[in-house]
């Protein structure tokens, strides 16, 4: 069956579920039946074969929101990679895209041979941006993560620290160019070890008005060109090179339009983040990004790089419960109908929006929503 047809079926199914109350009114026996017609000849969008994606974040156990600490040991730095449920949950989708990133990614230092200072974890500090100090990714952990993802058959996207080398002004503006040297050493390390990285993403939520800090579109475009040069250089001779992905943030149409106009050759994927559970859960962000891409010469495609419904770690008993499927499945259908190629759910595990329970690793209802989606989409 044609993937587009299935896509529309899913979309209509989701809408039918959402609007079920319009179909069935009143008490027993008062049932209105309707007919759904699917026009399978006209394609409205095409997703990647592996549309589904989930994220892993950096937040440590002492990241708390509104008095609740929901991350436990779900950080990239301490997640139990030997848990069999985790392995099987990823394997079930083989290949599942995994996007590693989140707020603290722009405060991560990668351990290098020449760096003599100790590779220390994030330390809670309310006077620091995002409430934590910089933290370090030890190369031993980088290795464990890559070995694990290979075993699980995941396609890995890694979010690089885009604030490296910049200072932050009092209004949150990041000043100066991206210093790529630490990122370059991480990429070289990955290539030398034979780790397969599907994409390198630059920065997290630094576009538009930014979250915590912001980078102007022309500067960001020039930083993306630097990343593209590094990737081309390090992966010279490779048949398949990783994707260059940016900016990983909330859509601001002017900012995105300027940024995309300035990256006609260096960028392969434009990522936006979505946290719109509630009254504005509509199609506008998808429609906006699709229009910007259509009106530009860029070959880049749209992804949702991170979407968790409710920001600040989600909401217990909502974003990890059955009711969230009404938002989530609608999002998957809508995203694909606006030509979004990949949709990354925040999170695979961690916070109150995990597909897996943070403490037990047991799947939450939305994990099965993903299963359903991937079943419908299977070629």
Ligand X SMILES: *[C@@H]1O[C@H](CO)[C@@H](O)[C@H](O)[C@H]1NC(C)=O
Active centre residues (catalytic): 205, 306
21 is a contact residue toward ligand X (CB under 6 A): no
Shortest distance, position 180 Cβ to ligand X, whole Å: 8
CA-nearest of 94, 260, 258, 58 to 244 is 260
Shortest distance, position 109 Cβ to ligand X, whole Å: 8
Shortest distance, position 311 Cβ to ligand X, whole Å: 24
Number of Cβ within a 10 Å radius of residue 248 = 30
**Using CB under 6 A, which residues numbered 56 to 115 contact ligand X?**
none
CA-nearest of 243, 120, 228 to 180 is 228
CA-nearest of 159, 149, 157 to 86 is 149
Question: 3-state DSSP call for residue 235?
Answer: coil
Which helix (H) or strand (E) element contains residue 109? strand 108-110
Binding mask 122-151 for ligand X (x = CB under 6 A): ---x-xx-----------------------
Nearer to ligand X, 114 or 280 (CB): 114
Of 21, 33, 35, 39, the one binding ligand X by CB under 6 A: 39
41 is a contact residue toward ligand X (CB under 6 A): yes
Number of Cβ within a 10 Å radius of residue 147 = 13
CA-nearest of 352, 329, 254, 346 to 7 is 329
Q: CA-CA-CA-CA torsion for 263, 306, 93, 284, nearest 10 degrees?
A: -80
Interacting residues of 103 by C-beta distance below 8 A, sequence separation 6+: 57, 58, 59, 130, 204, 205, 211, 212
179 is a contact residue toward ligand X (CB under 6 A): yes
Of 26, 118, 194, 278, the one binding ligand X by CB under 6 A: 26
CA-nearest of 346, 341, 298 to 199 is 341
Stretch that binds ligand X, among 7-15, 36-44, 270-278, 281-289 (CB under 6 A): 36-44
25 is a contact residue toward ligand X (CB under 6 A): yes
Count the site residues for ligand X by CB under 6 A: 14
Q: Which DSSP symbol is given to 321?
A: S
Answer yes or no: are the C-beta atoms of 329 and 17 closer than 8 Å.
yes
Of 42, 240, 297, 317, the one binding ligand X by CB under 6 A: 42
Shortest distance, position 179 Cβ to ligand X, whole Å: 4
279 is a contact residue toward ligand X (CB under 6 A): no
Shortest distance, position 30 Cβ to ligand X, whole Å: 4
Of 121, 131, 153, 165, the one binding ligand X by CB under 6 A: 165
Nearer to ligand X, 89 or 183 (CB): 183
Nearer to ligand X, 138 or 165 (CB): 165
Shortest distance, position 177 Cβ to ligand X, whole Å: 8
Number of Cβ within a 10 Å radius of residue 365 = 14
Interface contacts to ligand X, rule CB under 6 A: 25-27, 30, 39, 41-42, 125, 127-128, 165, 179, 181-182
């Amino acid at each position: 069956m044609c993937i587009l047809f299935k896509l529309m079926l899913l979309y209509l199914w989701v809408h039918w579920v959402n609007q079920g109350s319009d179909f069935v009114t009143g008490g027993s026996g008062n049932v209105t039946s309707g007919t759904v017609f699917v026009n399978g000849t006209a394609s409205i969008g095409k997703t990647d074969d592996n549309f589904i994606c989930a994220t892993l974040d950096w937040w440590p156990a002492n990241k708390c929101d509104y008095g609740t600490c929901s991350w436990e040991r779900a950080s990239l730095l301490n997640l139990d990679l030997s848990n069999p449920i985790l392995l099987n949950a990823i394997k079930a989708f083989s290949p599942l895209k995994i996007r590693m990133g989140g707020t603290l990614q722009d405060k991560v230092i990668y351990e290098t041979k020449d760096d003599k200072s100790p590779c220390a974890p994030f330390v809670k500090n309310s006077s620091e941006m995002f409430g934590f100090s910089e933290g370090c990714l030890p190369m031993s952990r980088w290795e464990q993560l890559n070995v694990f993802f290979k075993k699980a058959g995941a396609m890995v996207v890694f979010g690089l620290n885009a604030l490296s080398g910049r200072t932050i002004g009092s209004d949150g503006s990041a000043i100066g160019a991206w210093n790529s040297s630490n990122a370059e050493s991480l990429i070289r390390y990955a290539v030398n070890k034979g780790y397969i990285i599907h994409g390198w993403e630059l920065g997290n939520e630094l576009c538009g008005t930014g979250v915590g800090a912001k980078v102007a579109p022309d500067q960001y475009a020039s930083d993306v060109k630097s990343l593209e040069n590094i990737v081309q250089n390090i992966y010279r001779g490779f048949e398949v090179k990783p994707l260059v992905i940016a900016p990983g943030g909330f859509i601001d149409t002017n900012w995105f339009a300027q940024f995309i106009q300035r990256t006609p050759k260096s960028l392969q994927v434009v990522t936006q983040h979505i946290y719109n559970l509630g009254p504005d859960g509509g199609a506008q962000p998808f429609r906006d990004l699709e229009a910007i891409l259509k009106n530009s010469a860029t070959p880049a495609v749209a992804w949702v790089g991170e979407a968790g419904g409710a920001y600040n770690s989600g909401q217990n008993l909502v974003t990890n419960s059955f009711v969230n499927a009404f938002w989530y499945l609608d999002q998957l259908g809508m995203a694909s109908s606006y030509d979004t190629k990949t949709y990354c759910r925040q999170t695979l595990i961690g916070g109150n929006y995990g597909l897996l329970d943070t403490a037990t690793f047991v799947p939450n209802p939305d994990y099965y929503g993903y299963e359903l989606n991937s079943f419908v989409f299977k070629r």
